Chain A
């Protein structure tokens, strides 16, 4: 549950659910997020869930911190309001030209390539949050044997649709962007489709992701 609600400036609520990163806390955050989305409280302009915080921004012309805080505190939560959350399968091509950091990972983790991929593909991943850049999902948790730090020097350009890992998380670069995560492959699926006018993002906070490997040939086919 929310431990504390404070103000983030004069036009946002900062709801603190704790300091740890785990699914239990995040499910609480997402549950509040889903319930608030259905609440229609006056003046809310954005709700941003993250690992263990929920930021609610509002229009100061329409409501105020004190007013909205009271409404959020008194919000009656519908149980298990996770009907919005899905299982999504994402193909990944791990051809050498896409797996930019696989050699580095073998060295750092002291595990061979085949074992890295076997471990990576054997798990489902939970989407804690999306954002930073449009549609980028932050997924976890990685198997402990694959925990690895970010690159010392971030790449200036990580190719769009690259799959990156760092520590307990993996993500998908929805746009070409600077970034420091270890790149292990690439998906032919656009996670954020800026031509779709409704629900342009494939993955939402609370969804579960199952990655599966595809060959270069299948990658090219899917791309067409």
Chain B
């Protein structure tokens, strides 16, 4: 007999600060103003789905800082959490502690409480099965600005029900030992408007520390530090952006574009964060200090290959 699809579900007791469903994101819609979106930290997203024996692009629940508190109703299910995350399961009034990067079993009436990400920003919840979510333009990734993707383009809300489908048999532990490395030095490549800035401004940009401010989210990271003064006009004609672009605003502050960024912008682009440092960049919480280091394209490509190999090694070490 076919299982009732809605037999297994989570009830959202606390939504968390910014909990959204994400997958790999959507390609080929920048020209109509729709950014990639997708899981911010791609490596932790891949690890979450791999530990769950899922397809690589299966939806996950992404959370930031404080995660959701979810009550589970249904048959036993394997779940795992990735990132640097502090969480517990409340089972019959007992608090059970678990580690990230391994499958654990959730039982009927268990309460999964994702308390916080530790000195980082994003974490991921994956299940041995699939969150039942809406797709839009080939992706379930929620973009709260355009109100598209899973959950009608909204963050998780208190009291809502998350239906689950394709529940798998209990999975092996699939544990890996992985420590999220924290970085303060972000490597960048010169942007097309590098020469809009004075030598002093460039020196300061590449040697001084910048504070990550609270005005940081899935769209971008705003930095405060020494003012980066331009020698040419700050307003350029609006043009295409990509994630990782560092623009200097009219006030002389750097702003780094992240996965939900506006697709075009009119501030000069002083640099672009290398692809290999993106996952680590997004995990730097407000209050931290960062420094930029300039490297060339060839080195950036080599570092990316190494980063990819490392990710693949991690995946093959899951057992």
Whether, in the assembled complex, A154 has its beta carbon less than 8 Å from a beta carbon of chain B, the answer is no
CB pair B146 A50 closer than 8 Å:
no
Chain A residues with CB under 8 Å of B169's CB are none
Query: Contacting chain A: which of B15-23, B115-123, B159-167, B262-270?
Result: B262-270
22 inter-chain pairs at a CB distance below 8 angstroms, sorted by A residue, are: A8-B191, A9-B274, A19-B237, A33-B31, A46-B29, A46-B30, A47-B31, A48-B30, A48-B240, A50-B264, A54-B240, A55-B241, A55-B242, A131-B31, A132-B33, A133-B145, A134-B32, A134-B148, A135-B32, A192-B32, A192-B146, A204-B32
Is A186 in contact with chain B by the CB < 8 A criterion?
A: no
In the complex, are the beta carbons of A197 and B137 less than 8 A apart? yes
Q: Which residues of B contact A55 (CB under 8 A)?
A: 30, 239-242
Q: A8–B190 Cα gap in the complex (Å)?
A: 8
Nearest residue, chain A, Cβ from B152:
A194
Instruction: Output the least CB separation between B221 and chain A (Å).
Output: 16
Closest chain A residue to B264, Cβ basis: A131
**A41-58: which have CB < 8 Å to B?**
44-55, 57
Task: Give 16 new A-B contacts, CB below 8 A, not counting A55-B241, A175-B147.
Answer: A9-B189, A10-B297, A21-B237, A46-B28, A47-B30, A47-B31, A48-B241, A48-B263, A55-B30, A60-B301, A129-B238, A130-B31, A132-B33, A134-B33, A136-B33, A194-B147
Q: Chain A interface: which size bin? A: 35 or more
Interface residues of A in 87-143 (CB under 8 A from B): 129-136, 138
Q: Which residues of A contact B275 (CB under 8 A)?
A: 9-11, 60
In the complex, whether A185 has a CB less than 8 A from a CB of chain B is no
The one of A19, A57, A64 in contact with B30, judged by C-beta atoms closer than 8 angstroms, is: A57
Using Cβ atoms and an 8 Å threshold, which residues of chain B touch A201? 32-33
Contact with A along B217-251 (1 / 0, CB 8 A): 00000000000000000000111111011000000
Asked if A9 and B245 make an inter-chain contact with CB atoms under 8 angstroms apart, the answer reads yes
